Chain A
Amino acid sequence: MGRAKEIVIKVIPAKIANDFIKKHHYSGKVVPNSKIHFGAFLDNKLHGVMSFGASINKKGTRNLVEGTRWNEFIELNRMAFTDYLPKNSESRCISIVIRMIKKQAPHIKWIISFADACSCGDGTIYRASGFVLTDIRINDALRINPVTKEKMHTITAYHNQNKNFKHWERLKGYQLRYIYFIDKSCRDNLTVKEIPFSTINELGAGMYKGQKK
């Protein structure tokens, strides 16, 4: 574990978290419905942010675990760390945050998150943190702006470009859905099948730090 043990997790304001995410997340974008932000500090400096909030499709998402009430799950919707943090820091940070949620928001029974294997990674950190893989789907919603080379979601492109994006190249890849069960009994109520991690490589969906595996 080494120096990862020295990491301190604090609740930080949205402004500081969002500035950090804009600077360090591969997308450079924040999720507007992030409601709570955890900062990871090492040597008294901020080196990581994990932002949580409601899922966009909350009604549909809660059906993934039968019997889940409206506020009994949360989405980890942004996570970014600097390279300053030692090995295994990310899973340690997630583990501390899960402990904090368990203690201070005991009604939260599970956490959902998505890995973007189109342009970032297939979720190594989630797997190392005890998340369960519940979906691998082709993500063809990303396009590349031919001028700026910026990756943009189709919906964003539609709004920003007034439909003039249809000739943009599609970015092909996968999106992986992970769930962490804080309340372990919820795992029995999962309404979709758990997927073995080996399927990621079988489908060619692997990606690490933006590079196809």
Chain B
Amino acid sequence: MTIKEIKITELKPYENNPRMNDGAVDAVANSIREFGFKVPIIIDKENVIVAGHTRLKAAQMLGLDKVLCIVADDLNEDQIKAFRLADNKVGELATWDFNALAKEIAELDTIDVSQFGFDNAEINPDQYDEEFELPDGDKGEFQQMTFTLHNKQAELIKYAIETVDESIKNFGNTNKNGNALYEVVRQWAEQKKSL
């Protein structure tokens, strides 16, 4: 068995391929576009495809010049015929664990898996329930504020809040920096008033 790069124009689809794969070509092309050509095409000694007709069509669609191929030169004619069928059939025997699948899909932040043929069929309502919670009551007593500072401004503010006495009025706030910043600003406001 050898592995080599072959021009796609030199590859020959098997004339009696029993798999109808046109519906899968877009998804396979999307996968190759996203991840690269990672699964070689399996061919016989005459460059006739044993497994990988869809990958060839996808490669053609993407305008690839060469693809990685495994030459199954260790198999006889009967074995190649059988392998051509077996390779497709065994994939049909596996099924999805939809709960695990939904979890995996939910964890993907940057890649939309619908481009690989995952559609709404994989999202089964039985995986989900009807329970939810929404925040109750009035606006909380605490809030976060975000500022953008130059490094020199940030240094001075850090210095200022580090020097504040911890026994200051905090209104129940446990955030030390927030309390210190408040105290600095409070003292500044007091000074402004007395000017």
Contacts and interface: CB of A to CB of B under 8 A. Distances in A.
A187 B183 CA distance: 44
A47 B124 CA distance: 11
Interface of A: 8-13, 15-16, 19-20, 22-23, 35-36, 39, 41, 44-47, 69-71, 74, 82, 100-101, 104-105, 107-108
Contacts of B119: 45
Contacts of B138: 69-71
B132 A105 contact: yes
Contacts of B123: 12, 16, 39, 45-46
B112 interface: yes
Given A15-B108, A19-B112, A44 B124 contact: yes
Contacts, number: 80
Contact of B130 (A19, A22, A100): A100
**9 closest Cβ contacts across the A-B interface?**
A70-B139, A10-B128, A41-B125, A105-B134, A46-B120, A45-B120, A15-B106, A46-B123, A13-B106
* Most chain B Cβ neighbours within 10 Å, of A20, A46, A47, A74: A46
Nearest to B132: A11
A44 B105 contact: no
Contacts of A100: 130, 132
Given A16-B106, A46-B123, A11 B128 contact: yes
Contacts of B154: none
B92 interface: no
Given A13-B106, A23-B114, A39-B123, A108 B129 contact: no
Interface of B: 102, 105-109, 112-114, 119-121, 123-126, 128-139
Contacts of A69: 137-139
A9 B131 CA distance: 11
B66 to A, nearest CB: 33
Contacts of B105: 15-16
24 contacts: A10-B129, A10-B130, A13-B102, A15-B107, A16-B102, A19-B112, A19-B114, A20-B120, A22-B112, A23-B114, A36-B134, A39-B125, A39-B128, A41-B125, A44-B121, A44-B125, A45-B121, A70-B139, A71-B137, A100-B130, A104-B131, A104-B133, A105-B134, A108-B134
A42 to B, nearest CB: 9
Contacts of B133: 104-105
A11 B125 CA distance: 9
A69 B134 CA distance: 14
Contacts of B137: 69-71, 107
Contacts of B134: 35-36, 71, 74, 101, 104-105, 107-108
